[in-house]
Chains A and B, each alone.
Chain A
């Protein structure tokens, strides 16, 4: 599959991946802290909660994925499901 002589690409080096992730974590932390420094207008009471959008984004996506994963137990079928009579 992988030719040993083949060119090394950007993410073949695990250090590049961890650099990218490291930078990403820093940005996340920075954005979270900004919530306490900058003033956000609040139109809905929930928004007033510090870090509302950050928490909501994280929780929403974890919930989305875990629910979708459970859904698989009910809805997942073989690729030929509609092509064959059972």
Chain B
């Protein structure tokens, strides 16, 4: 079609330029055709082993490097961009079209980047292009949330650049290969990846910003940033044991928040950290099976989490509300969306025959193989918890539960088509996993469907559901309440501003006192002076002029002193 070493981000960037000047069906055609043509090109023409480099100053940059790992993410991002584009086809807002295309392109740029500087450029582009999908909501909350999001993302980029430069001075190479935690550069880059990966305490940009974006914007956001980070970890830090522990924590703590969270898109944001936790564990274990599990789970997560965000986006679009406390009974008017939501929920819960099952089980198996028994138990707890908060809570509180009285219309056709494609892919991958497995970067001999796995998983899930039913019948299940829950973000959204405020006001108080004292002494001095014989020279009778002269004298004196010392 076109030359095989054409970097895949270029069609997206050109399309972003084109949608600026087009409207209506033509614009729709451009946003749909770009991922289709780009994806076909990648699938048919591009093979592993390409490395197109160019030199700038003394650095050799590689803008397009392909291997099975980057290609897998390349296919995935084209599929995600295509589905999200269909879902957003009714949108009229040019800002969202442009930023979505640039954002998808940046994600592709990042996974095909062969060196750390190119990676850094796309890493920062991911941040600045995606923030407009949050700001496009155009509410005060969204704008503030977007700024906080940007601060985190840009900090991540700065750390990456710093790490890359230190890495260059240490090793003399900028190639993006295995990095590991040796030396300061390794830690800087690790932290940079960790922010985008939503490591604990660095995770609140995700739960803060994703629920504030537009209904369609969140679908894009959920597909790219964290998955680029998982890709980067899989390339730079496979087998780093610390990641197993970080990942295990990531799978567990968000589910508690997800249970009591009212905003259903925020529930999904917490659940996203939980799913990324499984991938991080897989990268940390570092065996071929675990790494395959991590990247295939990333692949599946984009589809089922995208599907769930789409169904909640459709609910938000139709009802203008996404709080569990205000919704309920929507299956009556949005039955198709409800069914599609259940498919997404089954996939994320890893029901046999749905996509989550065929990838998560790889990570779990690898964990047992490598002897992490207690961490495996944590992941099993998290698996049961996923079903509880994402698998049951999301469909139940939105579509069933008590009747909220809301009567709306079914989601628009374009949304239904997009959700339908994602749902079909979830079931297809879940029931025919050999096609996904054949794309995986490492050699595996793994098949998820045997009696043990299927039975164990079904028991785990059905009895988790039984717990939900029992808790509800006993009236023990916490009701959905209009509320928020404080998380690590409290440190910078409450404690820091509060202490800064306190510090500021105490500084002001002190400076006020000091100024008062100084003025008083000057006034007294002035009075004494004007009462004395010198006062007749009228030097200080006019107070403001006198003070000005005095201050200038002090400043000049200070400069003189500073100069002498210097």
Which residues of A are interface residues toward B (Cβ below 8 A)?
1-2, 9-12, 21, 24-25, 27-28, 31-32, 34-35, 38-41, 43-44, 46-47, 51, 53-62, 64-69, 71-72, 75-79, 81-83, 85
Judge if B493 is at the interface, Cβ distance under 8 Å.
yes
Write the nearest CB–CB distance from A86 to chain B, whole angstroms. Answer: 9
Judge if B486 is at the interface, Cβ distance under 8 Å.
yes
Q: Are A65 and B469 in contact (CB under 8 A)?
A: no
A29–B3 alpha-carbon span in the complex (Å): 60
Partner of A79, one of B387, B388, B482: B482
Q: Are B467 and A62 in contact (CB under 8 A)?
A: yes
Partner of A31, one of B332, B368, B373, B455: B455
Q: Mark B380-414, 1 if CB is under 8 A from A, else 0.
A: 11001101100000000000100101000000000
- Closest B-chain residue to A10, C-beta based? B331
**Which residue, of A2, A9, A60, has the highest number of chain B Cβ atoms within 10 A?**
A60
Binds A, one of B90-98, B110-118, B470-478: B470-478
Residues from 254 to 296 in B contacting A, C-beta threshold 8 Å: 255-257, 259-260
Residues from 449 to 472 in B contacting A, C-beta threshold 8 Å: 450-452, 455-471
Which 4 A-B pairs give the minimum distances between C-beta atoms? A61-B467, A57-B463, A68-B259, A53-B459
Partner of B464, one of A1, A25, A58: A58
Contacting residues, chain A, for B450 (C-beta < 8 A):
41
Q: Are B459 and A64 in contact (CB under 8 A)?
A: no
Partner of A64, one of B388, B457, B465, B481: B388
Contacting residues, chain B, for A72 (C-beta < 8 A):
260, 478, 483, 485
- Closest A-chain residue to B376, C-beta based? A44
Contacting residues, chain A, for B484 (C-beta < 8 A):
76-79, 81-82
Write the nearest CB–CB distance from A81 to chain B, whole angstroms. Answer: 6
Contacting residues, chain B, for A58 (C-beta < 8 A):
463-464, 466-467, 470
Q: Are A77 and B385 in contact (CB under 8 A)?
A: no
Q: Are A9 and B332 in contact (CB under 8 A)?
A: yes
Given contacts A2-B403, A68-B256, contact A38 B455 (CB under 8 A): yes
Q: Are A32 and B459 in contact (CB under 8 A)?
A: yes
Contacting residues, chain A, for B468 (C-beta < 8 A):
61
Q: Are B388 and A65 in contact (CB under 8 A)?
A: yes
Contacting residues, chain B, for A46 (C-beta < 8 A):
377
- Closest A-chain residue to B145, C-beta based? A82
Write the nearest CB–CB distance from A69 to chain B, whole angstroms. Answer: 5
Q: Are B469 and A21 in contact (CB under 8 A)?
A: yes
Contacting residues, chain A, for B368 (C-beta < 8 A):
43-44
Contacting residues, chain B, for A75 (C-beta < 8 A):
260, 485-487
For the A-B complex, the count of residue pairs with Cβ-Cβ distances under 8 Å equals 155
A54–B460 alpha-carbon span in the complex (Å): 5
Q: Are A68 and B260 in contact (CB under 8 A)?
A: yes
Write the nearest CB–CB distance from A64 to chain B, whole angstroms. Answer: 5
Q: Are A65 and B486 in contact (CB under 8 A)?
A: no
Contacting residues, chain A, for B259 (C-beta < 8 A):
64-65, 68-69
A76–B141 alpha-carbon span in the complex (Å): 19
Number of interface residues of B (CB under 8 A): 55
Which residues of B are interface residues toward A (Cβ below 8 A)?
141, 255-257, 259-260, 331-332, 368, 373, 376-377, 380-381, 384-385, 387-388, 400, 403, 405, 450-452, 455-471, 476-478, 481-487, 493-494, 498, 501
Q: Are B456 and A40 in contact (CB under 8 A)?
A: yes
**Which residue, of B400, B459, B487, B494, has the highest number of chain A Cβ atoms within 10 A?**
B459
Contacting residues, chain A, for B405 (C-beta < 8 A):
1-2
- Closest A-chain residue to B389, C-beta based? A64
Write the nearest CB–CB distance from A79 to chain B, whole angstroms. Answer: 6
A54–B456 alpha-carbon span in the complex (Å): 8
Contacting residues, chain B, for A62 (C-beta < 8 A):
467, 470-471
Contacting residues, chain A, for B255 (C-beta < 8 A):
64
Q: Are B485 and A65 in contact (CB under 8 A)?
A: no
Write the nearest CB–CB distance from A18 to chain B, whole angstroms. Answer: 12
Given contacts A58-B466, A64-B388, A78-B483, contact A35 B494 (CB under 8 A): no
Write the nearest CB–CB distance from A43 to chain B, whole angstroms. Answer: 5
Q: Are B465 and A60 in contact (CB under 8 A)?
A: no
Q: Are B467 and A65 in contact (CB under 8 A)?
A: yes
**Which residue, of B400, B455, B469, has the highest number of chain A Cβ atoms within 10 A?**
B455
Q: Are B459 and A81 in contact (CB under 8 A)?
A: no
A38–B469 alpha-carbon span in the complex (Å): 27
A-B contact pairs, 25 of them (CB 8 A): A24-B469, A27-B462, A28-B463, A28-B466, A31-B459, A32-B459, A32-B463, A38-B451, A40-B451, A54-B459, A57-B384, A57-B459, A58-B466, A60-B467, A61-B384, A61-B385, A65-B388, A65-B467, A68-B259, A71-B260, A76-B483, A76-B485, A78-B484, A81-B494, A82-B484
- Closest B-chain residue to A30, C-beta based? B462
Q: Are A57 and B467 in contact (CB under 8 A)?
A: yes
Beyond the given A53-B460, A56-B463, A61-B467, could you list 4 further A-B residue pairs with CB under 8 A, ordered by the A residue number? A53-B456, A61-B468, A77-B483, A81-B484
Partner of B256, one of A31, A51, A64: A64
Partner of A56, one of B384, B462, B478: B384
Q: Are A76 and B471 in contact (CB under 8 A)?
A: no
- Closest A-chain residue to B498, C-beta based? A85
Q: Are B467 and A44 in contact (CB under 8 A)?
A: no
Given contacts A9-B332, A21-B469, contact A64 B485 (CB under 8 A): no
A24–B360 alpha-carbon span in the complex (Å): 25
- Closest A-chain residue to B494, C-beta based? A82
